[in-house]
Chains A and B, each alone.
Chain A
Amino acid sequence: MPSPLPEDLLPLTDLAFNILVALSDEPQHGYALLKELRTRTGRAKLRTGTVYAALARLQDDGLVEEVPDADMGDDPRRRYYRTTGLGLTTARAEAERLAEVLRAARAKRLVPAGNRV
């Protein structure tokens, strides 16, 4: 199957975008990812199954990959994940798209002054 173009994958779901962002700088294992997501999205009740389902989809689409032979932490059974090149491009495209939306919102004064994001 030919790999999809980033534009074909947009818009990303909120969760998928957050996963790509979380895994963009360094690989993480599932639980660490879950914790970061819970903190960043404010969804304290985010379920493991929900995150892994999104992760599975991202892997199938080639946006996230497992880091092979990773030996980075305390538990050898843990799998580490990172954002692929395609994932980074896609995340950038999504960020650009969101920035565009934000610009529009600001132009229409939907974003309160002094609360620059």
Chain B
Amino acid sequence: MSELRGGAGGRLLRATLRLALSTWPAHRRRRDGRPLVDAFLDAASDAGWGPFRLSGEVAVECAVLLWAGVGMRARHLFDSWGRDLTSDVRLAVRGLARSPGFTAAVVTTLALGVGANATVFELVDRTLFRAPGFTEPDRLFFAWNSIRGSDVRERVAAPDVAVFRDGASDVAEFAFVNRATDGALERVQGDGAEHVSVGAASANLFQLLGTDASVGRVFTPADGPISRNAQDGAPTPPVVVLSDAVWQRIFGGDRALVGASVRLNGQPARVIGVLPPDFRLAFPPETGLSSPPEVWVPLRTPLDEVRRADGRRVDQDSDNTGAVIGRLAPGLTLARASERMDQVGARLRARLPEYREADLEIFLRPLHHDATAHTRPLLGALLAGVALVLLVTCLNLSTLLRARAARRAPELAVRVALGAGRSRIARRLAVEGLALGLLGVLCALVVARLAGPFLQSALPSSLAGGATGELGLRSFVALASVGLAATMAFGLLPALRTSSTVTRDAAGMRGVGGTRRGRDGLVIVQVSVSLILLLGVGLLSRTAAALRSVDPGFGVEQALTFSLSLRSPGAYRSPGDRARLMRSIESSVGEISGVTAVGLTGHLPLSGRHWTQPYGLPGQPVSEWARNRADFRTVTSGYFPAMEVEILEGRGFQPDEDLHEERRVVVVDESFARRVSATGSAVGAVVGIPLDGSEISAEIVGVVRHVRHASLSVDGRETVFVPYRQEASREVSFVVRTRGEPGVLAPLVRSTVREIDPTLALYGFETLEAYVEAQIAPVRFGVSVLGAFSLLALLAAWTGLYGVVALEVTSRTRDIGLRMAVGATRVAVLRSVLAFGLRLGAIGLVVGGFAGFALWGALRSLLYGVEILDPLHWLAVTGTVGVTVVLASLAPALRAARLDPTEALRAD
């Protein structure tokens, strides 16, 4: 069969087999191809196949060769990637170690930018986005009372919830949470009580939320009513459910606590369960539950049995109002439920004078949205700020990586010349980018872990809502993916571009590192981001200053405040007992040396609690009272001097008036006085006020300065002060005016009160100054966080601009030399380089100005006492950024001006 070796048939066979062999890796094909074909031909000739059989055998052989080739390729690819990857990683690590400056710059940029992002994202995620540990949270809502046609919303009275249930049980279930009260919790008496916030809830609350206890159980309907011991008929201790935080903080997460007895406000209580750690029930501030309850007790009367007794006043301060939480029936929308609640509202208006007179209606709001509405603007500003920081981070990364790619262009060109393919080079650069990214993410994680608790401690309580300062899984994943994506996007793209430039022009060592327009764009964005952030810092710090300079209507300095809660049902049952106790505390504390005045009030200004009632102007019939609503405050005679609330006309209360009921007197503020008489005196006028369900007349004996009760930024309603005796609430706040430093008196005051009754639960000792300053905390928090961000951004803008201008000088060195050689002065060179930097800076300022105006305009609700377009503020902020721009451009410009023309001309 020698014709198979030589002839035309043989050539065709060889060609066919070689075609199939072309799938084999080149070295194997070269080495084994020919012997293989020869061996096949030998076998074929020995077998003596006919042409038909032969072509079949060749076809099968070709298939075998193809298949083997594909296998070899796959194995080869896999092996070489694995092997090369190790070497790439080794090379990348070595390369990064060899340029520690570059590595440190990239890692620091990533760590700060991504770390800050993760920290803020965690906060925002926890507060706004994360599921609050309820079943189907979207079906939950808050129900409010509101005066028809106004946006004032008020807490709903407990008895009305029974009416809601009667009238709308087919559209929703309802639960009720009493406003939070302060309590003292300890394991055994004398253990050292811890201050906790106590919420009373209808027994169905947790069931309605769909939350189960992590240890023990939650309330059942049987927990509601006061149950009595079967043997002696004594009431059994009430049950409590603890939040996870309190369980950990006070009892160290002791599981044996469940079922055991603790003391709440000095009375025994039995712990039946602990809520899961992710349980976060946040409330809008108007519910009076701005510090979410940490200890839950059931309402002692089942909701359906709470009835509106005739003559009993239901006001915004009593224990009988609170937050109503509902869950929509399956398949129903909030709009549908709202329609039904309108009907319920109409029924209540027809039945109850209170609803009729005040023209109250009921409206529903989605639970989560409502609970977070007040925190959203500030969190939004932080999120916007941190997004800008991320942008700057990415731009910086891009600049750094491009610069490195440009510096390495010659080295890469050599590699290409030595035979490295484009993909090989791109892969090496990508591996380096990935290594950098991983390192950066690792450091960012450390930054976030350090910054988390720090942010947590700086967090105003209104934002704290269950945040722990620890990084959650979502934030961690977000952090890692943002960090890696940023490095890959800004590391890989320049790498690809570099490798393509290099391979296209292997000898070319210039022109890499991005287009000039791209670089200029980066700097412009960096400058504008700095401006946007600085504008925000300025606006917020001026807001803080404006709030601080607001005259709240009382003397902030040299006063101490603390609160007292008479929560144990047995003690001080009658209003008279309570009034006597308060009198004796006032007089004992007043005898402490250094104390000049002592007074108390049902609730301090700015506490977020209020009690709003209708009232009647002189001669006004009761039917018209609903038009007027005033803020009512109970105070003792010592309150005005202790708070330094100025008495403008008439007098304040006298001590005996606390106990005086025959002649009812009130003190009003100047806003109220103006309603009574636009010009003359209000003192002596008789106004109508509701008291215990009936309308009574009271004489105005004095007019005091208006006090900002609701918040520092809101002027607030007219106020009526009534003697404490009339309400004798179980919760009061004392104000102690001192001659010296008020803070040091706290222990003395505490021991003085203990002498009167050691079981009293005192809490909230702080100076009035600190108390008021806490109002500004969210703004101050915003200032410090945004301040840190804007520093980062300003630094980035500085380095970015410096880099671009310096690069401009380097690339124009010859040109500059030429111009100097033909007579351009150094000043002219300086001016032209400076102009280049300033032009970029100016564009950045204009862009940032517009963007800043838009952003802060959208976040206007955060601001107080400052105009967004305040010229002075803009001048200061643009000035700061402008100076940075000038300084960043000046150094390279000076270098250009100092160039020696002959040297410069020689530059390549």
A interface residues, Cβ below 8 angstroms from B: 1, 29-31, 33-35, 47-53, 55-57, 59-60, 66, 75, 77-79
Chain A residues with CB under 8 A of B62: 49
A53 nearest in chain B by CB position: B68
The complex places the Cα of A78 from the Cα of B126 at a distance, in Å, of 76
In angstroms, how far is the closest chain B Cβ from the Cβ of A35? 8
A49-B38 contact given A31-B43, A56-B24, CB 8 Å threshold? no
A30-B36 contact given A48-B43, A56-B72, CB 8 Å threshold? yes
Chain B residues with CB under 8 A of A31: 38-39, 42-43
The 6 nearest A-B residue pairs measured at CB? A30-B39, A53-B68, A49-B64, A31-B42, A49-B65, A48-B40
Interface residue SS majority, chain A:
helix
Among candidates A35, A47, A52, residue contacting B60 with C-beta atoms closer than 8 Å: A47
A47-B61 contact given A34-B43, A56-B72, CB 8 Å threshold? yes
The stretch of B27-35, B352-360, B627-635 in contact with A is B27-35
Contact A53 B38 (CB under 8 A): no
Contact B39 A29 (CB under 8 A): yes
Interface size class of B (residues with CB under 8 A): 20 to 34
The complex places the Cα of A31 from the Cα of B47 at a distance, in Å, of 12
Residue among A34, A49, A50, A52 facing the most chain B CB atoms (10 A cut-off): A49
Contact B28 A49 (CB under 8 A): no
- A–B pairs, 13, beta carbons within 8 Å: A29-B35, A29-B39, A34-B43, A47-B60, A47-B61, A48-B40, A48-B43, A56-B28, A56-B31, A59-B31, A59-B32, A77-B38, A78-B38
Chain A residues with CB under 8 A of B40: 48-49
The complex places the Cα of A66 from the Cα of B32 at a distance, in Å, of 10
The complex places the Cα of A51 from the Cα of B42 at a distance, in Å, of 14
Among candidates B35, B61, B71, residue contacting A79 with C-beta atoms closer than 8 Å: B35
Chain B residues with CB under 8 A of A56: 24, 28, 31-32, 72
B interface residues, Cβ below 8 angstroms from A: 20, 24, 28, 31-32, 34-36, 38-40, 42-43, 60-62, 64-65, 68, 71-72, 83
B83 nearest in chain A by CB position: A1
Contact B35 A49 (CB under 8 A): no
The complex places the Cα of A50 from the Cα of B68 at a distance, in Å, of 7
In angstroms, how far is the closest chain A Cβ from the Cβ of B46? 8
A30-B38 contact given A49-B64, A49-B65, CB 8 Å threshold? yes
A45 nearest in chain B by CB position: B60
The complex places the Cα of A60 from the Cα of B24 at a distance, in Å, of 13
Chain B residues with CB under 8 A of A55: 32
The complex places the Cα of A31 from the Cα of B65 at a distance, in Å, of 16
Contact B38 A52 (CB under 8 A): no
The complex places the Cα of A50 from the Cα of B43 at a distance, in Å, of 14
B68 nearest in chain A by CB position: A53
In angstroms, how far is the closest chain A Cβ from the Cβ of B84? 12
B76 nearest in chain A by CB position: A60
B65 nearest in chain A by CB position: A49
The complex places the Cα of A34 from the Cα of B36 at a distance, in Å, of 10
The complex places the Cα of A47 from the Cα of B68 at a distance, in Å, of 11
In angstroms, how far is the closest chain B Cβ from the Cβ of A65? 11
Chain B residues with CB under 8 A of A51: 39
The complex places the Cα of A19 from the Cα of B40 at a distance, in Å, of 17
Chain A residues with CB under 8 A of B42: 31
The complex places the Cα of A35 from the Cα of B39 at a distance, in Å, of 10
Chain A residues with CB under 8 A of B83: 1
The complex places the Cα of A31 from the Cα of B38 at a distance, in Å, of 8
Chain B residues with CB under 8 A of A79: 34-35
Chain B residues with CB under 8 A of A59: 28, 31-32
The complex places the Cα of A50 from the Cα of B67 at a distance, in Å, of 9
Residue among A29, A52, A77 facing the most chain B CB atoms (10 A cut-off): A52
Chain A residues with CB under 8 A of B28: 56, 59-60
Chain A residues with CB under 8 A of B65: 49, 53
The complex places the Cα of A16 from the Cα of B333 at a distance, in Å, of 72
The complex places the Cα of A63 from the Cα of B454 at a distance, in Å, of 63
The complex places the Cα of A10 from the Cα of B28 at a distance, in Å, of 23
A48-B36 contact given A34-B43, A60-B28, CB 8 Å threshold? yes
Chain B residues with CB under 8 A of A78: 35, 38
In angstroms, how far is the closest chain B Cβ from the Cβ of A63? 14
The complex places the Cα of A36 from the Cα of B211 at a distance, in Å, of 77
In angstroms, how far is the closest chain B Cβ from the Cβ of A46? 10
The complex places the Cα of A85 from the Cα of B42 at a distance, in Å, of 29
A52-B36 contact given A47-B60, A59-B31, A60-B28, CB 8 Å threshold? yes
The complex places the Cα of A55 from the Cα of B36 at a distance, in Å, of 10
A33-B39, A47-B64, A49-B62 known; 10 other A-B pairs, CB under 8 Å? A1-B83, A30-B35, A31-B38, A49-B64, A49-B65, A56-B31, A59-B28, A59-B31, A75-B38, A79-B35
Chain B residues with CB under 8 A of A57: 72
Among candidates B34, B39, B60, residue contacting A34 with C-beta atoms closer than 8 Å: B39
A49-B43 contact given A56-B24, A56-B31, A78-B35, CB 8 Å threshold? no
Contact A50 B38 (CB under 8 A): no
Residue among B32, B61, B72 facing the most chain A CB atoms (10 A cut-off): B32
Contact A48 B61 (CB under 8 A): yes
Chain A residues with CB under 8 A of B24: 56
Among candidates B34, B39, B71, B72, residue contacting A48 with C-beta atoms closer than 8 Å: B39
